[in-house]
A and B are shown apart, each in its own frame.
Chain A
């Protein structure tokens, strides 16, 4: 904060402006006065102020309207409404509209002095808070990746180094750990950032479609190929191609990928001419590719091409110290998105977030915080606004849960909780949950019925 707090006076009476300015300057403040709301708005746009003293009754814009306008420009700027004609209604309205205080002219010197001192002290705290938040962000955030844990700090250092290079990168980590976010951060801070970032989920498409998606096809290459189409490799030319779930690709697709990585060229399906591309490949997987290689399900030569640099993203349960930072990050994000003024988590709510295991990792935490922001009725997120699975009402998947320490759970209960955890991690996508559990969908539906598990209401 500057050495002298700056106060802007808005009053349409010259003698009040002069008198108040003189008194404030005698008191060691930097004071300036304007005669109407429009000029006040201009001043707030042009310069930084610590306090606005605004007369309630003025020609044109009244004090409340001036306050509303300046709050649109700087919502943290404290406004004190001053009036020579006090009524309870105007006082209530001023405070409801966000006035810091409401004082009556002529002021008791003790009162105005105290109000200004309080505002200045409050502003100092607000500015310190903003500074500390920025500092926190600077130290613990890289693009949208947040983490102060040792593991994440090491990862951020590696990311910044990798971003500068042109190397192929393999990102390993469980579902929901933010692998695509990391790929985007590498692209956005790399020399290729002006080129496109193209993402493909290799698990989402059957083999033939994936090949067509990656390499494109010529007209008539297969039934339904009514026109030629560019593949993702061509679309990503001069930029970055992100291959998600690369461990789920078929041997044929793996061969095609290997060719592009080795020769920097490919052929459209049904075509005969090779096309040269300049693409950086970043791939990601939640599978152990070494293990897939040993089982013969993944080409070792492709793995060596993909993992020039390997980045391993730790699951959230291995870095609980990042939970408050991430929760706050998502709280700010979704408060803005939902136009809500939510400031923080209640201590009990934060404690619950810290104790939960987060099988769905950061994505699950993000979903939980988004939901809490949407349903929150006050500016503080309470435990009641967290889903049952986090509060332990439906499936206590917690670190150091008492029953886990002292009692052995019946097999039936273990099964129920495991199913609940997997379902929650995949946001109740039954097909995905069934795949993860290694059973078919019908079996999963039967188990849900058996355990009385119902999809939670949104």
Chain B
């Protein structure tokens, strides 16, 4: 990199042993929602410096910084994928984080699994939730902020119930904003 074929596309960067099939699912969802080519990159090891011992979680803020440092400045957006539990210095946990109007975003499946809530494993539920969070975080990289419409993918989900309640699509005003930005 930089590879000219990747410019203007969206890059999917899996961390650690994040399942390859899930990375490709994400790429497909991104292409469907943003109308841009998506490329799955080679997985990279989760950087240890992003671990926060006091909280036994990983810092999504530091992970974003790592992604930005690793991916050269192109017009591409990058979505990192991990299954570790993410937090920020101020929030106890996050499903994901993004640079508002920037290039990088990251999403964790840790709290999207049914098992996290004591329920049996369910791939369909996991992928549905992951698709919503990926579109949400990439929406932020397009400069979009949280939407008040509960069904809109840009609605801020504080809990898994709210993730499940929203759709993986933009409400009409957000859709207009997204198409103007993309």
Instruction: Name A residues whose Cβ lies closer than 8 Å to a Cβ of B.
Output: 13, 15-16, 18-20, 22-23, 25-28, 105-110, 112-113
Residue B36 at the A interface, CB < 8 A?
no
On whether the beta carbons of A28 and B145 are closer than 8 Å, the reply is yes
Chain A residues with Cβ below 8 Å from B69 are none
B6 interface contact, C-beta 8 A: no
Cβ of B167 within 8 Å of any chain A Cβ, yes or no, is no
Q: Contacts A25-B100, A106-B92; is A19 near B146 (CB within 8 Å)?
A: no
Q: Kindly identify which residue among A13, A106, A113 contacts B156, using a CB–CB cutoff of 8 Å.
A: A113
Contact B92 A107, beta carbon cutoff 8 Å: yes
Q: Shortest distance in angstroms between B12's beta carbon and chain A's nearest beta carbon?
A: 21
Q: Is the CB of B146 within 8 A of A28?
A: yes
Bound-complex Cα distance A15 to B61 (A): 9
The SS class assigned to the B binding surface is loop
CB within 8 Å of A: which residues of B?
55, 61, 87-94, 97-100, 140, 145-146, 156, 158-159
Q: Which residues of B contact A27 (CB under 8 A)?
A: 145-146, 156
Min CB gap A12→B, angstroms: 13
Q: Write out the residue numbers on chain B whose beta carbons fall within 8 Å of the beta carbon of A23.
A: 88, 90-91
User: What residues on A are CB-neighbors of B91 within 8 Å?
Assistant: 19, 23, 106-109, 112
Docked CA distance A20–B94 (Å)? 13
Which chain A positions have C-beta within 8 A of B88? 19, 23, 106
- A20 near B156 with CB under 8 A, answer no
Residue of A nearest to B145 (CB): A28
Docked Cα-Cα span, A154 to B92, in Å, equals: 62
A26 and B158 form a contact (CB under 8 A)? no
A15, A26, A28, A110: which contacts B89 (Cβ < 8 A)? A15
Q: How far apart sit A105 and B87, CA to CA, in the bound complex (Å)?
A: 12
Q: Which residue from A15, A18, A26, A109 sits with its C-beta under 8 Å from B92?
A: A109
Q: Nearest B residue to A9 by beta-carbon distance?
A: B90
> Given A19-B89, A108-B92, do A113 and B158 touch, yes or no (CB 8 Å)?
yes
- Residues of chain B with a CB closer than 8 A to A109's CB: 91-94, 156, 158
Q: What's the Cα separation between A16 and B100 when bound, in Å? A: 17
Q: Can you give 24 A-B contacts (C-beta < 8 A)?
A: A13-B89, A16-B89, A19-B91, A20-B89, A20-B90, A22-B97, A22-B100, A23-B90, A23-B91, A25-B145, A26-B98, A27-B146, A28-B145, A28-B146, A106-B87, A106-B90, A107-B90, A108-B92, A109-B91, A109-B92, A109-B158, A110-B158, A112-B91, A113-B156
Complex Cα spacing A107 to B55, Å? 13
Additional 9 contacts, C-beta under 8 A, given A27-B145, A106-B87: A13-B89, A16-B90, A22-B61, A22-B100, A26-B146, A105-B89, A105-B90, A106-B91, A109-B91
Question: Which residues of the partner chain A approach B93 to less than 8 Å between Cβ atoms?
Answer: 109
Known: A18-B61, A26-B140, A105-B90. A110 touches B159 (CB 8 A): yes
Give min CB distance, B84 to chain A, whole Å. 16
Instruction: Name the B residues within 8 Å of A112 (CB-CB).
Output: 90-91
Inter-chain contacts of A15 with B (CB < 8 A): 61, 89
* A-B complex: 8 closest residue pairs judged by Cβ atoms: A110-B158, A28-B145, A19-B89, A106-B92, A109-B158, A27-B146, A15-B89, A19-B88
Closest to B140 in A: A26
Partner of A26, one of B61, B90, B145, B159: B145
Distance between Cα atoms of A28 and B155 in the complex (Å):
11
Q: State whether A106 touches B55 (Cβ < 8 A).
A: yes
B90, B98, B100, B140 pick with most chain A CB within 10 angstroms: B90
Most chain A beta-carbon neighbours within 10 Å: one of B89, B94, B156: B89
Closest to B161 in A: A110
Provide the residues of chain A in CB contact with B89, threshold 8 Å: 13, 15-16, 19-20, 105-106
| Contact yes or no, B100 A26, CB < 8 A | yes
Least Cβ–Cβ distance between A21 and chain B, in angstroms: 10
Cβ of A112 to closest chain B Cβ, rounded Å: 7
Q: How far is the CA of A264 from the CA of B167 in the complex (A)?
A: 85
By a CB distance below 8 angstroms, the chain A residues around B140 are: 26
